Structure 1
Amino acid sequence: MTHDTPLSPRPLHHLADGRRRLMTAAQLRAHGVSAAETGRQCRPGGPWQQLLPNVVLLHAGPPTSEERLHAVLLYAARERTPAAVSGRPAPASVPRQPGGEQQPFAADPEAMITGLAALTLHGFSAAPPLPSLDVLDVLVPRLRRLRSTGCARVVRTAALPTAVRVTGLPVAPVARALADAVAGLTDPGVVHRLLTEAVRGGHCEPAAVVRELNRARLLGRPHVVDAVDSLVAEGRALAEEHLYRMVREHALPEPVWNVDLRLPGGPGLGGVDAFWPEQAVALELDTRGAHRRQEDDAARAEQARRREHLERLGITVVRLAPRKLRASLEHQAAVVRTALMAAEDREPAAYVVVLPR
């Protein structure tokens, strides 16, 4: 018996029953279809077609966008079988199509959709519709032996992120998908629209996008740097709106907004986003988005020195992350209120001059 000998020959119509639209060569063999028979079914004018290497579409005519997505994942996925662990024969894994059966994709997949197709699945209006994409990007571990072919473009990574499930498919997180999309874009307008929608639409924080762009070494491209500048500004503006809402909706005392602090006749202490003079409480939004890792480290060190200086002067510094403001204004308001109430039990702070920023 050869590897291609059918295990249990059966009529082929049981496969094309409207539920199983895609199968791998291994799955077909498990269903009793030899490689030779698969080749005959995939001849020009035949009822099947080979969409990608080892991935067969069990009907004639063009594939749907969903079928192309499933095909790319089947092509890139490492097939796991219980036989590898137990030594027993493994049941066939059949992909679930609309109204169909089980999914072939593991909970921790070794392949996921990324790039523009992932952004479309995440709901980006600035991303093109799936039928207009000639190729679909699929993210795999760096050491996988795969090549880009047909509608599948292989993107490699040293550290695979945790996939997000979108319509049952494993999809790269927004920040990673953005970086993979931007890597192949040269139109500044498209890059700007995608990055802006990522923040304005609440998909992810600017800092997460900048980290991924930096990791992909894309921050040396002028049109990407310009888009990132707008991205950081957009993120800060949204965070400030949430901050104003927090004070207003949760009845916090009105602070002075966006001010510089200075010692009388001495050096400046830096700017803060909000300051309550009577309680000596300063609030800062953590919206750092440095373009270079070394700049980010320098900014972090300088910020830590400034915060320590303020606290030595008796000023409490509260730092709020934009994502936490967006997730729960009530909780962040409680943090600020606690800092304001604790001022009653502290020694009076040093006198500082408050100037508009």
Structure 2
Amino acid sequence: MTHNTPLSPRPLHHLADGRRRLMTVAQLRAHGVSAAETDEQCRPGGPWQRLLPNVVLLHPGPPTSEERLHAVLLYAARERTERPAAGATASVPVQPGREEAPAPAYAEAVITGLAALTLHGFSAAPPLPSLDAIDVLVPRLRRLRTTGCARIVRTTALPTAVWVTGVPAAPVARALADAVAELTDAGVVRRLLTEAVRGGHCEPAAVVRELNRARLLSRPHVVDAVDSLVAEGRALAEQRLYRMVREHGLPEPVWNVDLRLPGGPLLGGVDAFWPEHSVALELDTRAHRQQEDDAVWAEHVRKREHLERLGITVVHLTPRKLRDSTEHQATVVRTALMAAGDREPAAYVVVSPR
């Protein structure tokens, strides 16, 4: 035998078992399958097929939705032989508390957009088989192109992946922004954003931050959907607040009132007020553009400082605090109410419904 003698052909049926229905050309080569042999197996009518460049489906017939997802990841993931770009991370981070990254680990590739929302369980997102293209996030400097069912979405920084059924998916807020970037139907955008909040996937502020980062808030149909999103988020936060007062035995306040000095100007509105304790509560449900946030926050600070100069304690809560630490927030309110007896009497204010 000389160095030019070809190796004896290896049986290929073992590659197409239940666990290995997709492989890259490099992985096949590592299993002893030459490029010529791969071409032969992928001939028209053959047992294999090229699903994407350098990605081979090891059976005939259409791929399943799961196979399409993993094919896109195999196509977009950095092969071990590739050299990472300067400053790039060689792996996809895993969100704490989620699934551990399974093998194979898809370096520098994260499913996003509508496919990721479907993985997260969104009923308003289309089923995977109906998607012509699957969006996949890759670092900006990767030399990849959109092809077949893989649509490349470039980013300067990969988000922390959430592993769902063995697939690295972008967090909901990021997946929403990437999906909205491709959508023109205002109804679909509104349904997706509303489900994100109503389904408890994320807070409105997180969604709007991602939409703002993606420069999508200049689109009229997105702005309309954001208005609905903010209203939905506020309604849910108010429900949590009512439930916190009831379930934790807090005194019943007067809800959604305006405060003013007798014969004087309006001091501002609050979400709950305990007149006998001079304690007011405000929900921070801001979720608009940064410039608007700055103006709203400045006005909020002025109102809070004015009320506190009058001897009224202002408790500030966010929807996330109400959702994630209800008991602790109830303790904060109860402490403020109990401390009322140790304070100087507050100024008399007129309370009226908002």
TM-score by length of 2: 0.89
Alpha carbons 1:261, 1:268 under 8 Å: kept: yes
Q: Which amino acid aligns with 1:297?
A: D
Q: Which amino acid aligns with 1:53?
A: P
Identify the residue that residue 47 of structure 1 maps to in structure 2. Answer: 47
Q: 1:65–1:279: structure 2 CA closer, same or farther, 3 Å change rule?
A: same
Identify the residue that residue 89 of structure 1 maps to in structure 2. Answer: none
Residue correspondence of structure 1 range 255-266 to structure 2 within 5 A: 255-266=253-264
Q: Which amino acid aligns with 2:187?
A: G
**Partner Cα separation in structure 1 for residue 193 and residue 118 of structure 2:** 13
Q: Which amino acid aligns with 2:77?
A: A
- Measured against aligned partners, the alpha-carbon deviations of 1:132-190 in whole angstroms (never above 9, x if no partner) come to 11110001121211111000001111222111111121101111111111111111111
Secondary structure at the residue paired with 2:216?
A: coil
* Runs of 5+ consecutive residues of structure 2 not aligned to the other structure: 85-101
Q: 1:150 aligns with which of 139, 142, 148?
A: 148
Identify the residue that residue 229 of structure 1 maps to in structure 2. Answer: 227
**Partner Cα separation in structure 1 for residue 331 and residue 178 of structure 2:** 39
Identify the residue that residue 97 of structure 1 maps to in structure 2. Answer: none
Q: Which amino acid aligns with 2:62?
A: P
Alpha carbons 1:6, 1:32 under 8 Å: kept: no
Identity, % of aligned positions: 86
Q: CA RMSD in A?
A: 2.0
Query: Deviating runs (4+, > 4 A) in structure 1?
Result: 5-9, 81-84
Q: 1:237–1:83: structure 2 CA closer, same or farther, 3 Å change rule?
A: closer
- Measured against aligned partners, the alpha-carbon deviations of 1:53-87 in whole angstroms (never above 9, x if no partner) come to 11111111100000000010111111237999xxx
**Partner Cα separation in structure 1 for residue 285 and residue 7 of structure 2:** 61
Identify the residue that residue 37 of structure 1 maps to in structure 2. Answer: 37
- Measured against aligned partners, the alpha-carbon deviations of 1:328-354 in whole angstroms (never above 9, x if no partner) come to 322221111111112222222222222
Segment of structure 1 superposing worse, 147-156 or 265-274: 265-274
Identify the residue that residue 190 of structure 1 maps to in structure 2. Answer: 188
Identify the residue that residue 330 of structure 1 maps to in structure 2. Answer: 327
Deviation at 1:6, TM superposition (A): 8.8
Identify the residue that residue 134 of structure 1 maps to in structure 2. Answer: 132
Residue 166 in structure 1 maps to residue 172 in structure 2? no
**Partner Cα separation in structure 1 for residue 348 and residue 155 of structure 2:** 53
Identify the residue that residue 116 of structure 1 maps to in structure 2. Answer: 114
Deviation at 1:9, TM superposition (A): 5.6
Deviation at 1:43, TM superposition (A): 1.2
Deviation at 1:30, TM superposition (A): 0.9
Identify the residue that residue 71 of structure 1 maps to in structure 2. Answer: 71
- Measured against aligned partners, the alpha-carbon deviations of 1:216-244 in whole angstroms (never above 9, x if no partner) come to 11111111111111111011111111111
* Runs of 5+ consecutive residues of structure 1 not aligned to the other structure: 85-101
TM-score by length of 1: 0.89
Alpha carbons 1:7, 1:30 under 8 Å: kept: no
Identify the residue that residue 18 of structure 2 maps to in structure 1. Answer: 18
Q: Which amino acid aligns with 2:282?
A: E
**Partner Cα separation in structure 2 for residue 128 and residue 19 of structure 1:** 27
Segment of structure 1 superposing worse, 15-24 or 60-69: 15-24
**Partner Cα separation in structure 2 for residue 324 and residue 217 of structure 1:** 28
**Partner Cα separation in structure 1 for residue 276 and residue 220 of structure 2:** 46
- Measured against aligned partners, the alpha-carbon deviations of 1:71-112 in whole angstroms (never above 9, x if no partner) come to 10111111237999xxxxxxxxxxxxxxxxx62125xx4211
Deviation at 1:267, TM superposition (A): 2.5
Secondary structure at the residue paired with 1:15?
A: helix
Secondary structure at the residue paired with 2:16?
A: coil
Q: 1:348 aligns with which of 340, 345, 349?
A: 345
Secondary structure at the residue paired with 1:154?
A: strand
Alpha carbons 1:52, 1:149 under 8 Å: kept: yes
Identify the residue that residue 56 of structure 2 maps to in structure 1. Answer: 56
Q: Which amino acid aligns with 1:78?
A: R
Deviation at 1:266, TM superposition (A): 2.7
